[in-house]
């Protein structure tokens, strides 16, 4: 059964000091020894711990049973418990229909039993007022003003009347002297304990009472209120009692009072330890919740990574289509250049035949000049565009390499996380094996599929197998992205080499045979010609073109 987190100041933890009030009642019993087999009889004591809410209502009840053993043997005890827990060692306790059995070893045995439906002999009620106004305990943390507190105790009609008549109650409240001043305690005693003021109240057996406390508080906080129930028998016969017996009785009562004080101090320390243990369990549960949230975020990140990979592949396909279209465009330009050079060849022949038509030839040269200049501009535009494309390919290759490096780092982090996950699963499985009396088995990457094979650890098997599959897919992704970056670098180098050759007149002249044009025409298409100064310069132009 999950226990409730302790009371005040939880929502203000870490922001300001908070009021912490936990009421715990301890009832002490000396009971008849339980059954013990194969050893001498054991002596038993019980301490009943009661956890109250901030208003004094009952929260939960559990019993700590202790045995003084004379040897090893089986202990049989009784109690209407919902569950039991061994506080001495890891030995298993058996609980069947209110009968608790255990094979005890050593000279001491402690175990705890939780009572699901318990009725106390008393009913407690606590009321808080700040500056005359009733305030819930949850709102008192960090407040300042005049605090009045009333703790009332009365008999519980549903409880055991014998305990109400035989046990006295001692309530203890501690207040910080630096934060609480002008302390008033009607019917109580105030003692200094370091920087704290210890206020003690005593309620005699069979009596109901209202305990009142007031103080001026600033930035209020306080430790737990503790109420201890201690047996007391006041049925004394004073006939034939001499003073020596009375003095011995007084000495005994003094020793009893000292013992009660020591007992209360021990109870206070134990209550603090129980509260710290409870807080630790709650923090552990919160850590498990955060771990689960982290797993969900990891899965979301993996899904986003898969979506990004799909988009990256789509972009690569679009890039390949664009490169193919550009290649087709370059081929068409080359075809256009061939056709243009064919026209230049025909024009050269026409100039030889129409030497007498100097005016028409001059106009034709002008048009040829303009067309050749436009062609030259077009070629340089292609070169510049190809250089931009080359830079884009370079950036894309760099991005692909960065993605590959990121995949390697991510794979390394996931790999370390997988080792930690295997250690966590190994601890969980070995804890179950140990609890079942089986020896622990180390779990590694190599043997987890055999050890955790369904159906016994199916969920843990699926968790580790799924994570290992994720690591393999991530490794494949990293290799693919790295290969894509290398291919992009090679594509950029080949495209840059092709553009460089197209822009080099020497290379064009050396490879003119591939375009099937005469040497007299080819150089003219690879230069920016000077405009003729006059019509009479036409023959000079022709001679220069045929060199």
- Whole-angstrom Cα distance, residue 426 to residue 406? 30
- Whole-angstrom Cα distance, residue 542 to residue 521? 10
Residue 41 pLDDT more than 70?
A: no
List the structure tokens of 250.
Answer: 């007084």
Q: What is the pLDDT of residues 483-518, one digit of tens each?
A: 877 887 777 677 666 666 656 666 666 665 655 545
Give pTM, 2 decimals: 0.42
Cβ–Cβ under 8 Å, residues 54 and 21: yes
Q: What is the DSSP string of 446-470?
A: TTHHHHT-TTTTHHHHHHHHHHHHH
Of the spans 176-180, 239-243, 390-394, 417-421, which averages the highest pLDDT? Answer: 176-180
Q: In the chain, how many H helices and how many E strands?
A: 8, 18
Share of the chain above pLDDT 90, in %: 28
Q: What is the pLDDT of residues 303-325, one digit of tens each?
A: 888 888 888 888 888 888 887 88
Q: In which residue ranges of the chain is CATH 2.60.40 found?
A: 121-221
- Whole-angstrom Cα distance, residue 280 to residue 282? 5
Cβ–Cβ under 8 Å, residues 24 and 56: no
Instruction: Tell me what pLDDT residue 190 has.
Output: 93
Which of the 8 DSSP states describes residue 11? Answer: G
Instruction: Tell me what pLDDT residue 233 has.
Output: 57
Residue 191 pLDDT more than 70?
A: yes
Tokens 């002999």 belong to residue? 121
Tokens 């827990």 belong to residue? 85
Domain 121-221 has CATH 1.10.10: no
Residue 334 pLDDT more than 60?
A: yes
- Whole-angstrom Cα distance, residue 66 to residue 112? 9
Cβ–Cβ under 8 Å, residues 115 and 61: yes
> How many other CB atoms are found less than 10 A from the CB of residue 527?
11
């Amino acid at each position: 059964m999950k226990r409730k987190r302790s009371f005040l100041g939880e929502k203000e933890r870490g922001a300001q000091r908070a009021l912490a009030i936990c009421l715990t009642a301890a009832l002490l019993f000396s009971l008849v020894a339980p059954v013990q087999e194969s050893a001498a009889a054991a002596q038993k004591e019980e301490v009943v711990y009661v956890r109250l809410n901030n208003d004094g209502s009952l929260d939960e009840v559990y019993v700590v049973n202790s045995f003084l053993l004379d040897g090893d043997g089986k202990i049989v005890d009784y109690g209407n418990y919902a569950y039991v827990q061994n506080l001495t060692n890891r030995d298993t306790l058996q609980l069947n229909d209110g009968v608790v059995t255990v094979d005890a070893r050593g000279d001491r045995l402690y175990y705890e039993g939780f009572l699901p439906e318990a009725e106390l002999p008393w009913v407690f009620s606590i009321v808080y007022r700040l500056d005359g106004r009733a305030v819930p305990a949850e709102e008192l943390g960090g407040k300042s003003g005049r605090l009045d507190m009333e703790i009332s105790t009365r008999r519980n009609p549903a409880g055991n009347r014998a305990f109400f008549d035989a046990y006295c109650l001692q309530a203890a409240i501690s207040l910080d002297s630096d934060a609480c001043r002008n302390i008033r305690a009607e019917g109580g005693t105030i003692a200094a304990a370091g920087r704290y003021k210890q206020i003690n109240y005593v309620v005699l057996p069979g009596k109901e009472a209202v305990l009142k406390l007031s103080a001026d508080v600033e930035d209020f906080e306080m430790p737990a209120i503790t109420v201890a129930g201690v047996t007391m028998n006041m049925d004394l016969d004073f006939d034939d009692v001499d003073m020596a017996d009375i003095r011995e009785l007084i000495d005994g009562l003094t020793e009893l009072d000292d013992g009660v004080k020591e007992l209360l101090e021990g109870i206070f320390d134990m209550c603090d330890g129980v509260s710290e243990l409870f807080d630790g369990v709650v923090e552990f549960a919160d850590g498990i919740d955060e771990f689960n949230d982290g797993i969900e975020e990891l899965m979301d990140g993996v899904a986003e990574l898969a979506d990004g990979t799909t988009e990256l592949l789509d972009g690569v396909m679009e890039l390949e289509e664009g490169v193919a279209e550009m290649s087709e465009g370059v081929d068409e330009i080359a075809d256009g250049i061939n056709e243009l050079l064919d026209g230049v060849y025909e024009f050269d022949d026409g100039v030889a035949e129409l030497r007498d038509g100097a005016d028409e030839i001059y106009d034709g040269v002008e048009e040829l000049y303009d067309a050749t200049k436009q062609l030259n501009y077009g070629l340089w535009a292609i070169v510049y565009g190809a250089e931009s494309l080359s830079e884009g390919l370079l950036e894309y290759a760099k991005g692909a390499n960065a993605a590959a490096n990121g995949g390697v780092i991510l794979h390394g982090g996931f790999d370390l996380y997988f080792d930690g996950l295997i250690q966590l699963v190994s601890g969980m499985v070995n804890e179950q094996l140990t609890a079942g009396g089986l020896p622990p088995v180390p779990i590694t990457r190599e043997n987890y599929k055999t050890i955790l094979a369904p159906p016994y650890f199916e969920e843990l098997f699926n968790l580790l197998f799924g994570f290992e599959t994720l690591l393999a897919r991530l490794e494949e992704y990293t290799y693919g992205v790295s290969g894509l970056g290398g291919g992009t670098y090679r594509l950029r180098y080949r495209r840059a080499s092709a553009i460089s050759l197209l822009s080099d007149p020497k290379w064009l002249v050396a490879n003119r045979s591939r375009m099937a044009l005469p040497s007299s025409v080819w150089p003219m298409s690879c230069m920016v010609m000077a405009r003729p100064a006059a019509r009479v310069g036409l023959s000079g132009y022709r001679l220069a073109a045929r060199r």
